[in-house]
Amino acid sequence: MLGQTELLTTSRDGVGGFALVRRPQMPSPHAPTPMSETEYRMVFDGEDATRRHVRTECADYVASYAGPRGSERLVRMAFNNGQVKLFEGARGMEHKVQTLYSNGTSRTYSGPSGQERRVEARFTDGTVKRYGGARGSEFVNQIKFSDGRKVYFEGPSGHERKVQVRFPDGRRELYVGPKGQERLVDTFTQEEMAALLEDAPEAPPPPPPVPP
């Protein structure tokens, strides 16, 4: 019967050691022994040449891996506080794409490893925030509420000011002023917006090609 191999690594007072334990695939009726903060367990699946790293367990989290032997890549980290981080990318280039929280909220990220920037946050009440900007300087540029309203913002992180609100029925509200002091300056109905778009001047035709 194929089994899994565990590599238990410990480190105390600068002295390291490890133990290899082969176990059957049948689940054990006994609960696993809790690990200290100074040890972790690497779990491998398969036999001999096909054996691959599938999981690393430590006191604070469990990291899961996917892929064939030699190309195992990190895909998931589950923490004891209920937080889960998801990853994509080839081995050595894994980048975080999403963080799930125990309260039901989530954050989505984009960018290569070490440069992941927050692009979206979802909340349990249906609110969705979208962000722009580089990592560490993300700013809110849109908030969508569960009733269909979309609020648009401009400005750098910490100074985002509301500039427009769009309603499901097509209405739009325009605002000016710094953050926290925005004031409504104009409102358009769906019909008024359609008329404005119809009356907008068309883009001029491109210039004729220069003769050779």
Determine the Cα angle at 44 with ends 42 and 45, to 5°.
155
Q: What is residue 70's three-state secondary structure?
A: coil
Q: Which element (helix H / strand E) includes 40? A: strand 39-45
Q: What are the tens digits of pLDDT across the range 137-182?
A: 999 999 999 999 999 999 999 999 999 999 999 999 999 999 999 9
Q: 14: pLDDT confidence band, cut at 50, 70 and 90?
A: very low
Give 28 or 183, the one with higher predicted confidence.
Answer: 183
pTM score: 0.77
